[in-house]
Amino acid sequence: MFSFNKLVIFGVGLIGGSLARALRERAGPGGSVVGVGRTAASVARAIELGVIDEAAALDDDTALANALAGADVVLLAAPVAQTEPLLARIAPFLGERTIVTDAGSTKSDVVAAARRTLGPRVAQFVPGHPIAGRESSGVDAALPDLYVDRNVVLCPLPENAADDVERIASMWRATGACVRQMSEAQHDRVFASVSHLPHVLSFALVDQILDTPDAELKFSFAAGGFRDFTRIAASSPEMWRDICVANRAALLAELDDYTAVLARFRAAIEASDGAALEAAFARSRVARKEWQERGGIKPSNDVAAK
């Protein structure tokens, strides 16, 4: 069970809005939900849709102090590059009992930012990452079932109280999610491989075609394979820019490994080595089928981790 008196969400878009809707519509009656945006107008749509109860502007000290007063949980659901300035902005108004968590796709940089801005109060920050999303963004895309049967990764700090970690875990479980834990370094290595690299490759393929003289003709004949491979290239450029920069060391290592595999495939194609290609393709096919049979593909809202 998860209950709260006040939940404050910075960035009431797809991720933050879906959390608010899930807690309202799936977890039963709760407290008030306050949305904070760059301006009050930026969260007006969330009030109109009934996703939040109140709105506050980030640049208004009085409104921000009132929004954070008595808050049980604060969720930072903004691009990872905004984590440090957001933490610095809220630190003066943060109550001693308030738990802060985030939804960022990288964790090592977020933890470092929290240590710099919160100092000894970093114990109040529980790093998190819900592995869910859609190609659409904004509060209009928010869904109450976005997190059902999805993974949420928490990367607890040594300073975190066990009860605070469990409270954040119970919040996500109330949305239907499965909560896992790992270190921030392990998180960044894993998601560089299975999330960040696929997005870079998807953007890269579209970019490659755009640079060809017959791009329009190619796009006109693109079908299912192209659609499936490039679906995630419709994701937020701002968000993925920040993720690539924030997780650059792990992502570069994955890109180097992928480039080596492409070089091996290229050599086999150049040599007309059908046996080598078939063996490599068969190995990948078996691994993909086994992953799918273990439940790797979810029935709805399936999109690469955000």
**How far, CA to CA in Å, does 249 sit from each of 32, 126, 189?**
40, 23, 9
- pLDDT higher than threshold 60 for residue 159: yes
Same domain membership, residue 89 and residue 19 = yes
For residue 34, give the H/E element and its range. strand 32-37
Binning pLDDT at 50, 70 and 90, where does residue 140 land? Answer: confident
pLDDT value at residue 28: 65
Question: 113 and 258: one domain?
Answer: no
**Of 182, 204, 236, which one is at a domain's C-terminal end?**
182
Assign residue 268 the CATH number of its domain.
1.10.3660.10
Same domain, 20 and 150: yes
Q: Which residues of 215-224 are buried (b: 16+ CB within 10 A; e: fewer)?
A: eeeeeeeeee
Q: Does residue 221 belong to any structural domain of this protein?
A: yes
Q: What is the pLDDT of residue 254?
A: 97
Task: List the domain range (segments joined by +) for residue 209.
Answer: 187-293
CATH of the domain at 162: 3.40.50.720
Residue 300 located in a structural domain: no
Q: How many domains does the chain have?
A: 2
**One domain for residues 19 and 153:** yes
Residue 126 maps to a domain:
yes
* pLDDT, tens only, 30-76: 789 999 998 777 788 999 999 999 999 999 999 999 999 999 999 99
Reported as a pLDDT band with limits 50, 70 and 90, residue 87 is: very high
Last residue of a domain, one of 151, 182, 213: 182
Distance CA 19, CA 76 (A): 12
At 129, list the tokens. Answer: 């990452």
Q: Which of these three, 125, 155, 182, is where a domain ends?
A: 182
Q: Which of 30-34, 89-93, 132-136 has the highest mean pLDDT?
A: 89-93
Using CA atoms, how far residue 167 sits from 70, 73, 85, 304, in Å, is 16, 9, 25, 26
Contact between 95 and 264 under an 8 Å Cβ cutoff? The reply is no
3-class SS of residue 213? coil
Q: Which residues pair with 73 in a beta bridge?
A: 7, 99
